[in-house]
Amino acid sequence: MALLSFLGKKKKELKAACQITKEPIEAGYGYLLTTSQVVTSKKYWDLVMTEPETMSYTVSHFKNQPSGTQMRSMIFDKYATVAKPWMISDSIINYFEVDKQQAKENAKRWWESEGTFSPEHTGPASQHLATDSFNLAREYAVMEAGRSRVK
């Protein structure tokens, strides 16, 4: 009986969804980015800081309310400390200034390894970016992102 139950078990199918848009990504497709590549994108931060869930913090921040600025700082920290690579969909890849061919190749390697492959420099951004680059990304995300959407 144990043999039959073993034979009946199917290997769990690897699935992926864009970590930003949440749209499903078909096996073999997508782009794999590191946290450093994600958090250095101004377009990404403009998107994150103007989502319905975060817009109130952005409005508060630009009205000089410290609580809004504090929340934006916490949001930055949440995303900047992601240790795993980010699977990104076709619809959002242009938000990032990366080598798209390399990111696509990394995604294929991720799929082939059943989700275990990590590109070089994967991990929290503070561990892989120069201090100046990290601080510039933080400064933009916390202090400037979404400014054009607040009146």
CA dist list (Å): 41 to 27, 45, 47, 70, 110: 26, 7, 10, 20, 22
pTM of the model: 0.89
pLDDT digits (tens, 9 = 90+) for 132-146: 999 999 999 999 999
Is the predicted pLDDT of residue 122 greater than 90, yes or no? yes
| pLDDT category of residue 22 using cuts at 50, 70 and 90 | very high
Contact yes or no for 150/59 (Cβ under 8 A) = yes
User: Where on the phi/psi map is residue 96: left (φ > 0), alpha (ψ -120 to 50), or beta?
Assistant: beta
Structure tokens belonging to residue 140: 């933009």
Contact yes or no for 86/97 (Cβ under 8 A) = no
Is the predicted pLDDT of residue 11 greater than 70, yes or no? no
pLDDT digits (tens, 9 = 90+) for 71-98: 999 999 999 999 999 999 999 999 999 9
